[in-house]
Amino acid sequence: MKLFTSCFWTHMTDPRSISIARGTPPFYKGPRYEKLAPSWELIHAYKDGMPTDLYEAVYRSEVLSKLTPDIIRADLLDETILLCWERDGFCHRHIVGAWLRENGIECEEVTFT
């Protein structure tokens, strides 16, 4: 299995895309995979200045610790593109990508349009 990550702005119309964000832009009409979405509390804490290393630790504990590679393989199709809001820089999709690779699932960021 190979998955990809990207943002709404470049891949929201790709039929392989699925949102992993807690909220989505009003113009996004595609599917959602809330099992990978951070909690609103975590999002607000980060926006209020939570350090990225703490955010990652909490996200891994609250979200990723409840999942396994088998769950991901059962729930998602090969070559699915996991979407979130951030165009670039720190975001939870990069944590997801790293976790997937750590657990034997290929995952890379796509930047093509």
- The pLDDT assigned to 51 comes to 97
pTM for the full model? 0.92
Q: What backbone phi and psi angles, to 5 degrees, belong to 50?
A: -55, 130
Cα angle for residues 93, 87, 95 (degrees, 5° grid) = 15
- The pLDDT assigned to 12 comes to 84
26, 27, 29 from 94: Cα distances, Å: 23, 23, 23
| pLDDT for residue 66 is more than 90 | yes
- Mapped onto helix, strand or coil, the DSSP state of residue 50 is coil
Domain total for the chain?
1
Render pLDDT for 2-36 as a digit per residue (tens, 0 to 9): 999 999 988 888 899 999 999 999 989 999 999 99
User: Residue 100 sits in which domain range?
Assistant: 2-109
Q: What backbone phi and psi angles, to 5 degrees, belong to 78?
A: -55, 140
